[in-house]
Structure 1
Amino acid sequence: MGRGNKIETKASYQAVMAKIDGLMAKGSENVSAAELAEIRRLALSAQEYEKNVYVVDAPSTLSGMIEMRMYEMRLRQVDLARKLKVSPAKLSLILNGKQRPDVDFLKAVHTELNVDANFILEHA
């Protein structure tokens, strides 16, 4: 892979990752400015490859969407419950399919977690 080239194959990706690992193994205090720029360039190329190859399907259930948002927002379940203004027990029951969500809960999912209203209507 030449400078500025897009990673096209798994072999090229693995070579880039090996190069990044090699440069990073030197330690941050031993990496030159040029090497740091090279790490950034390689990492951006690897990130672009990963976005195209490792596609994660969107959740197909309301509980899956809520859990994805909880992960994205780096919230623990207890913090998510507080954000949605429900008890941790109620949130657990809803996420496990043992209790149907009420309108207030669904509104909170829409406003606090920015879940599309159409998704909520189709999956609630």
Structure 2
Amino acid sequence: MENYEYKTEEEYEAAMVVIERLMDKGEAQLSSEELETIRTMALSAQAYEKKHYYVEPPRTFQGMIELRMYELKLKQKDLAEKLGVSNAKLSLIMNGKQRPDVPFIKAVHTELDIPADFILQHI
């Protein structure tokens, strides 16, 4: 299968339509050629997105926590429970009104998989 390289937003959008149409058929209904087409087009789309839709990584401890909340589809109350803190404490930390303590920092590192070096540089 040939490699695709999307140079314009129109090409990328057209590819998304093709991928979605094929995926709507259901994996069991796809031929091996169609599965390979999806795989190749999706990898090319990912490369296009990485090049054209770059999102700068968070620059703050709270920003990184918010990013992980978004990625994990967590509401603040769910995040507080996951981190073992009250919603009020989480709110104070996220708004910069309370400094995070060691148990909170450990929970952020282990539960949200935020690298320790990022945490140490940003608290």
C-alpha deviation, 1:78, in angstroms? 1.3
d(CA) in 2 for partners of 1:86, 1:15: 46
C-alpha deviation, 1:108, in angstroms? 1.3
Q: In structure 2, what residue type is equivalent to 1:94? A: I
Number of equivalent positions = 120
d(CA) in 2 for partners of 1:111, 1:18: 38
Contact 2:4 2:41 in 1 (8 A): no
Q: Percent identity?
A: 55
d(CA) in 2 for partners of 1:28, 1:12: 22
* Residue matched to 1:13: 12
Structure 1 gaps, min length 5 = none
C-alpha deviation, 1:43, in angstroms? 3.4
Distance 1:20 1:83, change over 3 A: closer
C-alpha deviation, 1:95, in angstroms? 0.7
Distance 1:93 1:20, change over 3 A: same
* Residue matched to 2:79: 80
* Residue matched to 2:93: 94
Distance 1:42 1:97, change over 3 A: same
C-alpha deviation, 1:32, in angstroms? 6.3
d(CA) in 2 for partners of 1:98, 1:72: 25
Decide which moves more: 58-67 or 37-46: 37-46
C-alpha deviation, 1:105, in angstroms? 0.9
Pairs within 5 Å for 1:38-49: 38-49=37-48
C-alpha deviation, 1:87, in angstroms? 0.1
Q: In structure 1, what residue type is equivalent to 2:75? A: R
Distance 1:91 1:28, change over 3 A: same
Structure 2 gaps, min length 5 = none
* Residue matched to 1:59: 58
Q: In structure 1, what residue type is equivalent to 2:25? A: S
Distance 1:19 1:108, change over 3 A: closer
Q: In structure 1, what residue type is equivalent to 2:54? A: V
Contact 2:6 2:45 in 1 (8 A): yes
Q: CA RMSD in A?
A: 2.6
